[in-house]
């Protein structure tokens, strides 16, 4: 069985909020976290956010209007 969460975060452009959400996901050990309304709209933001993700999940994917970015993170196993 997988542990899944889906959250409407209402924007993650604020660095403190983004770090808090990422840490909350890690602390709760979710297998899948689906974030809606991130308000990530530029390729530059997507690259930064991907680099900040260092969670338990194997992949973080950010979809912007122009491109998709995936960041591989270390597995907990």
What are the E-state strand segments in the chain? 4-8, 32-36, 59-63, 68-72
Q: Has residue 77 been placed in a domain? A: no
Residues 15-67: pLDDT tens digits?
Answer: 999 989 988 988 998 888 888 888 887 778 877 887 787 654 455 666 655 54
Instruction: Return the higher-pLDDT residue of 21 and 77.
Output: 21
Q: 34: which strand partners?
A: 6
Structural domain for 34, as ranges: 4-72
Q: pTM for the complete prediction?
A: 0.71
Q: End-to-end CA distance of the chain: give it in Å, rounded.
A: 16
In a domain, 26, yes or no: yes
Q: How far apart are CA 35 and CA 77, in angstroms?
A: 24
Q: What pLDDT sits at residue 70?
A: 47
**Structural domains in the chain (count):** 1
Residue 33 lies in a domain: yes
Q: How far apart are CA 18 and CA 22, in angstroms?
A: 6
Whether residue 73 has pLDDT greater than 90 = no
């Amino acid at each position: 069985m997988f542990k899944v969460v889906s959250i409407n975060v209402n924007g993650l452009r604020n660095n403190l909020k983004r770090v808090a959400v990422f840490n909350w996901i890690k602390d709760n050990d979710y297998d899948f976290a689906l974030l809606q309304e991130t308000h990530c709209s530029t390729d530059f933001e997507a690259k930064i956010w991907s680099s900040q993700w260092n969670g338990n999940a194997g992949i973080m994917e950010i979809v912007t209007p122009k491109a998709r970015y995936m960041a591989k993170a270390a597995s907990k196993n």
